[in-house]
Amino acid sequence: MSYLALILLAIALASLSYYYIENFIPKLVAEVYQNFKEIYPSQVPSYSIKQQQQLSCIKSKSQPPIFIYQLLFILVILSFFFITQCFWLTFWLSLFFALTLTLAIIDYFYHFISLTLCQLIFVLTLLGDYWQILPFTIEQSVINGGLGFLCFYLFYWISRWFYGKEALGRGDYWLVSALSSCCYMEQLSLFIFIASVFGVIFYLTHSYFFNALKEIPYAPFLVISAYLLLFFNLLIT
């Protein structure tokens, strides 16, 4: 019965993730157009949704079929259950996986971090603490999230002053804040270090086999680092 429930959960989460990514750019373009139209009502001609997409400089990337998402989610979520042998922890990890994977894919293709997804990750962590699914207390998660935000926010402005331009995106420190709540305070520097190492490896590999990148999507590597530390903390408790 648990396996059937988890398979249905995986299919539902995969479908939501797929449609969120699929509609992310059209929704973003429509919001930008609507906001611009409200600010300059007399200067903006009326366009249909299709015309807005054609005029936009940001185009949606093609995605694999939805059944690929569903198969991936089923395999990952059943693997979570096989490792943890706990239904409710698997349920929490499934929600966490859906949010982080969606966020990482969007950042990889569009270099954009959704603040809504960051906030949902943080709230999900607090709920995991409250239900005692995770080995942290609510106080620890709040303090770690705030500390991660402050440190990366300061690093954002230092790097901007040093390079004369944004070296990090504004969404990065919101994501660091959300994911920092999933580790202990002593692991925050390790969390950033692991993500940076994966980012450097990705950059060097991509430069060697393809071409040098002007920008590196940082969210996927932050997510990988968070998973490594989260599972480490779960296994030792």
- Residue ranges per structural domain of the chain: 1-85, 112-237
Backbone angles phi, psi at 165, to 5 degrees: -160, 175
For position 137, what pLDDT does the model report? 92
Q: Rounded to an integer, what distance in angstroms lies between the CA atom of residue 91 and that of residue 73?
A: 12
16-26 per-position pLDDT tens digit: 999 999 988 87
Given a cut of 80, is residue 139 above it in pLDDT? yes
Q: What is the mean pLDDT of the chain?
A: 86
The residues, ordered by sequence, that sit 6+ positions from 98 with a Cβ below 8 Å of its Cβ are 13, 14, 16, 17, 73
187-221 per-position pLDDT tens digit: 999 999 999 899 999 989 988 888 877 778 889 99
Confidence of residue 9 (pLDDT cuts 50, 70, 90): very high
Chain length of the chain: 237
Low-confidence winner among 76-80, 170-174, 177-181 (lowest mean pLDDT): 170-174
55-113 per-position pLDDT tens digit: 555 666 778 899 999 999 999 999 999 999 999 999 999 999 999 999 999 999 888 89
Q: pTM of this prediction?
A: 0.88
| Residue with token string 């690093």 | 155
Q: What average pLDDT does the segment 210-235 reach? A: 89
Q: Rounded to an integer, what distance in angstroms lies between the CA atom of residue 172 and that of residue 178?
A: 10
3-state secondary structure 77-112: HHHHHHHHCCHHHHHHHHHHHHHHHHHHHHHHHHCC
| Nearest residue to 96 via CA among 232, 203, 230 | 230
Determine what percent of the chain is predicted with pLDDT higher than 90. Answer: 54
How many Cα neighbours within 13 Å face the side chain of 135?
12
For position 5, what pLDDT does the model report? 94
More confident residue, 185 or 54: 185
Q: Rounded to an integer, what distance in angstroms lies between the CA atom of residue 90 and that of residue 196?
A: 28
Q: What average pLDDT does the segment 145-173 reach? A: 80
Q: Rounded to an integer, what distance in angstroms lies between the CA atom of residue 99 and that of residue 108?
A: 14
